[in-house]
Amino acid sequence: MPETSNNRKNYTSNADLQDIADRLRRGERITITTHVKPDGDAIGSSIALARTLDLLGKETTVVYHGPWPHRFDEYTEDVNIIHHSDDAHLPAADLVVITDTGAISQLQKLENYLKANREKVIIIDHHRHGSDIADVRYIEPEAPAVCEPMAELCRLLLQQPLLPVEVATPLFIGIAMDTGWFRFNSVRPQTMHLAADLIEAGVDHSLVYRTIEQGDDLPRLELMRRALDSLELLNNNASALMVLRSSDIEEAGAHPDDTSGLIDVPQTVAAIRLVCLVVELKTGKTKISLRSKPGDHPDDPFVNVDLLAGHFGGGGHVHAAGAKVDKPVDEVLPELRALLDNPADFTGLHRQPQSRLEAST
């Protein structure tokens, strides 16, 4: 369900992190949840907050919906977690914290609950678009990962600058994964300062990378081969399109989560500025993932994939976005292919500040 333009305009903070910390201290039973099919930033932020609240003696539960990426198992073993695939159950709670999303389209299983309990709901997010589903919101779209403001919230709750390693590690995972291991231009100076603080707290960044990014099995390699076999170049080789059918995933012996990261492979080619991965879902719907590169120079144009995804009812960030379309792949592809071949309507200029001084003027 696409967000309305009114929701997009009104999706801003109405509280600061100190307000939220004070509110959480007053609660006793706190439930934390995030978007369906959680990624590293969603998992890292929710686990870090849960462990922080546990240290304060709160009764904390984390609820995840949809497929679970098992590469995170060893980083979540000590947390009280409920996994749901179909129902919308949330345990009784004084407060509900939603992290890394505020879009009802990513929380549809909870829509009725959220409407009936919005006074209990707190959103902590870094996306530019969301829904009016919570009385309390902290939205920081400049943050490359929601784990950045979450780290500050954890510090405020624990009242200490150096976080315990069990809190620091999931925060590092979330920041690293949402920035492409600090490759994306969304990284800002405070991102690197925070990463250094988390390593100082005891995070083994080398081990984290090996377990998260180098733990694939052979079916995922086969899925990568199939994705590359489908690769089509458009727009004078500046756009790349890959398509995976549900039969590809099944025949490879892979899991739908194994498609994660495949979109990054064509970006290793200098000429390719825009990449799209289309995945056919078993439900008959079509999942679109989009990535674009920033310009090589501050005034170079680029494709704003948040706008491109919005054309299909989705959204996200300027250089990373996606959509889920309620149509079969073969109905979506002609229009998508045409837009990838001529993305001029979705280009923009985004001059990055060269210094903190310039950013403040």
**In degrees, to the nearest 5, what angle opens at C-alpha 266 toward C-alphas 260 and 235?**
125
Residue 358 is assigned to a structural domain of this protein: no
Residue 359 is assigned to a structural domain of this protein: no
361 residues of the chain, pLDDT tens digit each: 344 444 455 899 999 999 999 999 999 999 999 998 899 999 999 999 999 999 999 999 999 988 888 889 999 989 999 987 555 668 889 999 999 999 988 887 788 888 889 999 999 999 988 999 999 999 999 999 999 999 999 999 999 989 999 999 999 999 999 999 998 889 999 999 999 999 999 999 999 999 988 888 899 999 999 999 999 999 999 999 999 999 999 999 998 878 988 999 999 999 999 999 999 998 899 999 999 998 877 777 899 999 999 999 988 888 889 999 999 999 999 999 999 999 988 886 543 433 222 222 2
With H, G, I as helix, E, B as strand and everything else as coil, classify residue 350. Answer: coil
Residues 179 and 240 in one domain: no
Query: pTM of this prediction?
Result: 0.77
Give me the pLDDT at residue 359, please. 28
Give me the pLDDT at residue 85, please. 55
Residue 230 burial by Cβ neighbours in a 10 Å radius (0-12, 13-18, 19+)? middle
Give me the pLDDT at residue 8, please. 52
Residues 80 and 107 in one domain: yes
Residues 201 and 251 in one domain: no
Give me the pLDDT at residue 355, please. 29
Please list the residues that pair with 289 across neighbouring strands: 277, 322
Cβ-contact 131, 3 below 8 angstroms: yes
Here the tokens at position 325 are 């379309």
Residues 227 and 335 in one domain: yes
Residues 147 and 235 in one domain: no
What letter would DSSP give residue 265? G
Residue 356 is assigned to a structural domain of this protein: no
Domain that holds residue 261: 218-348
